[in-house]
A and B are shown apart, each in its own frame.
Chain A
Amino acid sequence: AQSVSQHNHHVILSEAASLELGCNYSYGGTVNLFWYVQYPGQHLQLLLKYFSGDPLVKGIKGFEAEFIKSKFSFNLRKPSVQWSDTAEYFCAVNTNAGKSTFGDGTTLTVKP
């Protein structure tokens, strides 16, 4: 069975600090990888996604993620966070079988 592990449950940073949120998945076949974000009081929405090609993908608001197949990882990064990045971040994996698995989420708090 596939699984997704997000190592950080709660991250607290000051503005302008760099961010890296870890995500590892377990599945032996082809996967589509996603990061979703849920800002306070809002719906879950897509931050970025990887299907194929360049393993370094760029998303909205300056976020990027790198797919490292050998490590089964898809870590999310941002060089300089802002207070408005305070949110909950979910890593997700979809397989060709249609199963969609989300990690438990990481709550990011950015202090102004």
Chain B
Amino acid sequence: GAGVSQSPSNKVTEKGKDVELRCDPISGHTALYWYRQSLGQGLEFLIYFQGNSAPDKSGLPSDRFSAERTGGSVSTLTIQRTQQEDSAVYLCASSFILSAGGWETQYFGPGTRLLVL
């Protein structure tokens, strides 16, 4: 079946503008994750959703970042008043949740490459 898709694939914006990034997870996957990967860095965990709720928002870098998920499916990550340090690749992943707790393998999307000028 279809994998995780993200849009846009690339986004160039001016400092101070708001941007919205979209993630379509694999159908049936209950868990959804957002990560940020800056140049030469590892994956920085931002937030995850269990269904439509986000039990852990501690990874969001600042209050300019927010995310929501509707219908247990599509998720959007919004960055308000973008700054140059927000430039990075934003990755989305989805997975099943194990009945015994814990998360199964994460399937990653291609990412959105954000450049803030």
Once the chains bind, are B91 and A97 in contact (CB under 8 Å)? no
What's the least CB distance linking A82 to chain B, in Å? Answer: 23
A99 and B105 contact, Cβ closer than 8 Å, known pairs A43-B110, A44-B91: no
Once the chains bind, are A32 and B103 in contact (CB under 8 Å)? yes
Question: B interface, by DSSP: helix, strand, loop or mixed?
Answer: strand
Whether, in the assembled complex, A95 has its beta carbon less than 8 Å from a beta carbon of chain B, the answer is: yes
Once the chains bind, are A99 and B56 in contact (CB under 8 Å)? yes
Whether, in the assembled complex, B25 has its beta carbon less than 8 Å from a beta carbon of chain A, the answer is: no
Q: When chains A and B are docked, how far (Å) is the Cα of A61 from the Cα of B111? A: 25
Q: When chains A and B are docked, how far (Å) is the Cα of A95 from the Cα of B102? A: 6
Query: Which of B9-17, B40-48, B71-79 participates in binding chain A?
Result: B40-48
Contacts of B107 in A (CB 8 A): 46
- The size class of the interface chain B forms with chain A is 20 to 34
Q: How many residues of A contact B (CB 8 A)?
A: 25
Contacts of B41 in A (CB 8 A): 104
Listed in ascending order, the chain B residues whose CB lies under 8 Å from chain A are: 3, 31, 33, 35, 41-43, 45, 48, 50, 55-56, 91, 93, 98, 101-103, 105-111
Listed in ascending order, the chain A residues whose CB lies under 8 Å from chain B are: 6, 30, 32, 34, 36, 43-46, 49, 51, 90, 92, 94-105
